[in-house]
Amino acid sequence: MQRYELFIDNKFTAPLSGEYLPVTNPATQTAFAEVPNASLADVDRVVASSRAAFEGEWSEWRAADRAAFLIDFGRAIGEHAEELAQLQVDENGKLIREMVGQAKLFPEYFNYYAGLAQAPTGTTNAVHLKAMLNYTVREPLGVVAAITPWNSPLLLLVWKLGPALAAGNTVIAKPSEVTPISTLRFAEIAAETGLPEGVFNVITGYGNPSGTALTTHPDVAKIAFTGSTSTGQAIMSAAGKSLKSVSLELGGKSPNIVFEDADLEVAMNGLVAGIFGASGQTCMAGSRILVQESIYDRVVEELGRRADAIKVGDPQKETTEMGTIASPQQYEKVLEYIEIAKNEGARLVAGGRSETVEGMERGLFVRPTVFADVDNSMQIAQEEVFGPIASVIKFTDEADAIRIANDSQFGLAAGVWTGNPQRSHRVASKLRAGTVWINNYRKTGYATSFGGYKQSGVGRENGADALREYTEEKSVWVDMGQGVKDPFNPRA
Q: Closer CB to ligand NAD, residue 49 or residue 229?
A: 229
- Catalytic residue list contains 249: yes
Query: Residue 119 is which amino acid?
Result: A
Handedness of CA 338, 342, 344, 345 (dihedral sign): positive
> H-helix or E-strand containing 436?
strand 435-438
Q: Is 280 in the site for ligand NAD (CB under 6 A)?
A: no
Q: Which of residues 430-489 bind ligand NAD (CB under 6 A)?
A: 452, 457
3-state secondary structure of 489: coil
| Part in contact with ligand NAD (CB under 6 A); list of ranges 79-87, 99-107, 246-254, 310-318 | 246-254
Q: Which of residues 29-58 bind ligand NAD (CB under 6 A)?
A: none
Q: Is 387 in the site for ligand NAD (CB under 6 A)?
A: no
Of 34, 283, 384, 469, which one is the catalytic site residue?
283
User: In 3D, which of 415, 472, 483 has the Cα closest to residue 273?
Assistant: 415
3-state secondary structure of 133: strand
Give the Cα separation of 392 and 16 in Å (integer): 51
User: In 3D, which of 297, 176, 261, 266 has the Cα closest to residue 226?
Assistant: 176
Task: Provide the minimum distance between the beta carbon of 453 and ligand NAD in the complex, in angstroms, as a whole number.
Answer: 11
Instruction: Among 251, 387, 388, 463, indicate the residue that binds ligand NAD (CB under 6 A).
Output: 251
Residue 129-158 contact track with ligand NAD, rule CB under 6 A, x = bound: ------------------xxxxx----x--
| Residues contacting ligand NAD: total by CB under 6 A | 32
> H-helix or E-strand containing 156?
helix 153-166
Of 34, 91, 249, 384, which one is the catalytic site residue?
249
C-beta pairs of 237-241 under 8 Å, 24+ apart in sequence:
238/212, 239/215, 241/216
Q: Closer CB to ligand NAD, residue 369 or residue 435?
A: 435
| Part in contact with ligand NAD (CB under 6 A); list of ranges 75-83, 222-230, 239-247, 365-373 | 222-230
Task: Provide the minimum distance between the beta carbon of 82 and ligand NAD in the complex, in angstroms, as a whole number.
Answer: 23
| Part in contact with ligand NAD (CB under 6 A); list of ranges 17-25, 65-73, 168-176, 471-479 | 168-176
DSSP string, 324-366: --SSHHHHHHHHHHHHHHHHHTPEEEE--SEEEETTEEEEEEE
Which backbone phi and psi does 382 adopt, to 5 degrees? Answer: -105, -25
- Catalytic residue list contains 361: no
Q: Is 352 in the site for ligand NAD (CB under 6 A)?
A: no
Give the Cα separation of 233 and 229 in Å (integer): 6
Q: Is 384 in the site for ligand NAD (CB under 6 A)?
A: yes
The residues assigned a catalytic role are 249, 283
Binding site for ligand NAD (CB under 6 A): 147-151, 156, 174-177, 206-208, 211-212, 215, 226-228, 231, 234-235, 249-252, 283, 384, 386, 412, 452, 457
